[in-house]
Structure 1
Amino acid sequence: MAAFALAAMAAPASAQEPRECGTPASLADGWAVAAPADVAMDAKALCGLDAFISQWPGRNVHAVLIARHGKLVMERYYAGVDERMARPLGIVRFAADVKHDMRSVSKSVTSLLIGIALAEGRFPTLDSSVFDTFPQYGDLATPEKRRITFRDLLTMSAGLKWDESRGYADPLSNEYGLVEATDPFRYLLSQPMAAAPGTVYAYNGGATALLAAALAKGTGRSLNDYAREKLFVPLQVLDFDWDEMGVSHQLGAAGGLRLRPRDMLKLGQIMLTDGQWNGRRVLPPGWAAESATPRINGEGLYFYGYQWWLGRSFSRGHELTWTAAFGLGGQRLYIVPALDLVLAITAGHYGSGQGGSPLQAVIPSAILNGFVLPAVLRGSP
């Protein structure tokens, strides 16, 4: 109970932390800041965030940030129990300069890098067979498996029998098998087929890792180096960690990234602006929209694009579609194009299994639907 109580406390004020009610700090990181009224949001409603979050026992929310019309309008940090790649960190006092595990948000970032490499001619054609790029696994290429394309990997529809729902620690989990394998990609491609490629969604971190391996092969660069040069430096992100993991050095593409929440929010902003950050092009034209196009039925009511989740909310009689990056523990990046709005949430509901604690889905969804969307003023474009 003590940990839960601490998780609800705001971190002490510092030079880099926002003031009361989540007023954002003005830092030299590319974000312009604005008052809520300047972007047609209700300041009084935004000041109710602490009370809104406090209704959940065991809430353990770490940060909530909102950008609208390209300006940072709110950032709020808390103290809470956290971990780094399953290693307990105890109670962490979060602030604007403290990085957080992104977990599977990393998959969506990997997709952004693939778009950049495609435009440079340094990534295979999306509809080409993965075995054309990795001929060393040709002995596994049955006629059905040879139909697996990079587009199928992007949409989690390779058709391979795969189960990550048990959690990493379970030896029966394919995630465990992937990480422990001497050759992770042979392990991945040796799995039996469960469906025709491109027809059925099945969450598969190995698919993201194989995408990263193709990226490294095409660019001749490590994931870290390519991401730094092509994505993070243009976004004015100077402080990040990307644990590449495993003997192949690509397994971290599925979940090894750590960012400051302010920088996490930038990834959502370039999805709104056709890949531009402060007037500088970061993504190829059209890649953000292509990535956020529904490609296949995902889990539950979600559609799935290129490593991005696609969903909808209902607010004041209107249906609002959104694109999102999800990470275990409650890491969420929501992009709501109709409102020109981005929301970033970090939290510590890691739990066990692929789904983590039920709170990791309930609380971020409630923050979006019950707090942020209602704070947009009526009649606001």
Structure 2
Amino acid sequence: MAERIDAVLGSGRASGLHGLVVMRGGEVVVEWYGAGVDHHLNESLGHVVFDRDTLHDLRSVSKSVVALVYGIALGEGLVPEPGESLMRQFPEFPDLVPGREHLTIEHALTMTLGIEWREDLPYTDPANGEIAMEFAPDRHRYVLERPVVEEAGKRWSYCGGASALVGEIVSRGVGRPMDDYAGERLFGPLGISEYFWSRGDDGVPRAASGLRLRPIDLAAVGQLVLDGGRDIVPGEWIREVLRARVVVGDWAEYGYQWYLNGGRAECIGNGGQRLVVVPGEELVVAVTAGEYDEGQGSSQAVLDAVLGA
């Protein structure tokens, strides 16, 4: 593995790579950090020399972490079951209920809400659904009032707004901001003391993309999943998260905010942020990169090297 990784790094095919942590059998076997231009959301941080203690944007990997936090709250009886009504969790919007009575929390967890949502645009474009949500007077109303364009539960459609709804359901259930609860119930038990979860101008944690962690701590989250939750996240919930429910294009399936592909569970974030868990090989791979709005080239090249693809 090390020789393959060195070959990729030497070839320049992973020039945007910022960090790599590989764990096998619960032990760190590879840890590498580079340098490059980084961003926090759409704000440039300039040229950064990374090391073990440098926090990194995880972008949409945040969504997968939110799913774990929801599961912790569910295990404590603080949030409704996934099959419960979605609109019932937002009673302040009675005018939006007609035509949406059928929506459940599970539709948000699986990104099968059947609403009109454009997130295939650059995240610098105000027409991008997630960016428009951030600028809206009420982010949750913005998501829920999107036109219903197809039957819910049938087709996966990428939607940061769905994750925002799940994050808010957690906040309401636990009686405090979702990120505070995550810090106490997820990060604390894992020994993660350094993290940052950005909030919008409305003070609401950005559930879809706001989390920053060290790569070594992102790997610890993956190891937690590989270990079946370790009584931090209920084991039954880990199994539900990793149970395929809908097809994503021609390359993967989707559980609860996690991608499932060929025996692997994956989290994917803009710019090359990746977390891959391979139960059959007791393997966890955490990758951070700086190719925001450019693709997954560097992270995919190094993942192929690690996984022997």
The TM-score, its normalising length taken from structure 2, stands at: 0.96
2:246 paired residue number = 296
For residues 1-381 of structure 1, the aligned pairs below 5 Å read 45-56=1-12, 59-143=15-99, 145-247=100-202, 249-250=204-205, 252-276=206-230, 281-312=231-262, 321-350=263-292, 356-358=293-295, 360=296, 362-369=297-304, 371-374=305-308
Q: Aligned partners of 2:203, 2:246: CA distance in 1, in Å?
A: 29
The structure-2 alpha-carbon separation of the partners of 1:248 and 1:298, relative to structure 1 and needing over 3 Å to count, comes to: farther
Percent identity, aligned pairs only? 39
How far the C-alpha of 1:176 sits from its partner, in A, is 2.4
Deviations, residues 97-126 of structure 1 (Å, cap 9, x unaligned): 111001111000000000001111111121
What one-letter code is carried by the residue in structure 2 that aligns with 1:129? S
Q: Aligned partners of 1:334, 1:58: CA distance in 2, in Å?
A: 17
| Residues 253 and 260, structure 2, Cα contact 8 Å, conserved in 1 | yes
| Residues 14 and 298, structure 2, Cα contact 8 Å, conserved in 1 | no
The structure-2 alpha-carbon separation of the partners of 1:372 and 1:169, relative to structure 1 and needing over 3 Å to count, comes to: closer
How far the C-alpha of 1:49 sits from its partner, in A, is 2.3
| Residues 14 and 302, structure 2, Cα contact 8 Å, conserved in 1 | no
What one-letter code is carried by the residue in structure 2 that aligns with 1:162? W
Q: Aligned partners of 1:184, 1:227: CA distance in 2, in Å?
A: 21
What one-letter code is carried by the residue in structure 2 that aligns with 1:95? D
Q: Aligned partners of 1:184, 1:368: CA distance in 2, in Å?
A: 35
Using CA pairs under 8 Å that are at least 6 residues apart, name the structure with larger relative contact order, 1 or 2: 2
Deviations, residues 319-365 of structure 1 (Å, cap 9, x unaligned): xx100110111000000111010011100000xxxxx213x1x3323
Q: Aligned partners of 2:14, 2:280: CA distance in 1, in Å?
A: 33
Deviations, residues 240-295 of structure 1 (Å, cap 9, x unaligned): 00112242603x1100000000000011101111102xxxx211122112101111
SS at match of 2:301: helix
How far the C-alpha of 1:77 sits from its partner, in A, is 0.7
SS at match of 2:101: helix
What one-letter code is carried by the residue in structure 2 that aligns with 1:182? P
5+ residue gaps, structure 1, are 1-44, 313-320, 351-355, 376-381
| Residues 289 and 298, structure 2, Cα contact 8 Å, conserved in 1 | no
| Residues 189 and 232, structure 2, Cα contact 8 Å, conserved in 1 | yes
1:35 paired residue number = none
1:14 paired residue number = none
SS at match of 1:253: coil
1:6 paired residue number = none
SS at match of 1:286: helix
Q: Aligned partners of 2:249, 2:222: CA distance in 1, in Å?
A: 21
SS at match of 1:357: coil
How far the C-alpha of 1:47 sits from its partner, in A, is 4.3
The Cα RMSD (Å) is 1.6
Q: Aligned partners of 1:129, 1:106: CA distance in 2, in Å?
A: 24
5+ residue gaps, structure 2, are none
| Residues 108 and 162, structure 2, Cα contact 8 Å, conserved in 1 | yes
